[in-house]
Amino acid sequence: MRFLLAEDDDYLARALAQGLGSRGYAVDAARSGKEAIQALSDSEYDLLILDLGLPEVDGSQILRLLRERGSTLPVIIITARDAVQDRIAGLDLGANDYLTKPFDFGELEARIRAILRKNVWGNRMEIHCGLLRFVLNTKEVFVGGEVCEFTPRESAVLEMLLSRAGRLVPKKALVEHLASWEEAPSDNAMEIVIHRLRRKLCTAGVEISTVRGFGYLLRESQ
């Protein structure tokens, strides 16, 4: 999952990017409204975390622009503006959620999980495929009842493949969703992740096929 974080407070931006990064989310940080608009037109994101008080272009203007263009990108507003009127205005502009600063990181995470659960997984809490069970909140993976350990990156790749189980996931899309501006996984690194996933899931009743030149496809073994 790849997020855009539009926040001009350096300290908060860094702390959030680091915290979310350690949970396996790829985070690009934009420090101004202009930067955020540029990033949104350059890359595809799964979520926008949006401060309202941004230099150059205000967060609410960005949100209005996004929705006018028909974008369905989930948006969480994080802002110091805590008047009820501001919250109503933000949600009515098309935000999915609203957090007032200062907020607890755990609460932001939970709200992110709730939004992604609804958007990507239709409110399901667990994904079953073959003998594999993927718990969305905790990212725990069980194979035939046994816990299976994954690195954050392996887990992120598995989650994306599972979200499109039975369909081809282009390698480019996979790399883009995992990449943040600072560290894009190379093609080779992606192949290593897939190799490790196959090894760890060899008894899970699922297979990850490589469609050469295009990408990967996860499905239940025949």
**Region 132-161 residues binding Ca ion, contact defined as CB under 5 A:** none
- From the CB of 175, what's the least distance to Ca ion, in Å? 31
Q: What is the C-alpha separation between 58 and 36, in angstroms, rounded?
A: 10
Looking at beta carbons only, is 53 or 152 nearer to Ca ion?
53
- 101: burial class by Cβ within 10 Å (0-12, 13-18, 19+)? middle
Q: Which residue among 53, 94, 152, 205 contacts Ca ion (CB under 5 A)?
A: 53
Please provide residue 43's backbone torsions phi and psi, each rounded to the nearest 5 degrees.
-130, 165
User: Which SS3 state, helix, strand or coil, does residue 184 take?
Assistant: coil
Task: Specify the stretch interacting with Ca ion by CB under 5 A; choose among 14-22, 51-59, 65-73, 104-112.
Answer: 51-59
Q: Which residue among 28, 35, 46, 51 contacts Ca ion (CB under 5 A)?
A: 51
What is the helix (H) or strand (E) element at residue 129, kind and residue range? strand 126-129
- From the CB of 59, what's the least distance to Ca ion, in Å? 8
Task: Specify the stretch interacting with Ca ion by CB under 5 A; choose among 21-29, 49-57, 82-90, 144-152.
Answer: 49-57
Residue 8 binds Ca ion (CB under 5 A): yes
Residue 94 binds Ca ion (CB under 5 A): no
- The widest CA-to-CA distance across the chain, in whole angstroms, is 56
Looking at residue 110, the DSSP 8-state letter turns out to be H
The contact set with Ca ion (CB under 5 A) reads 8, 51, 53
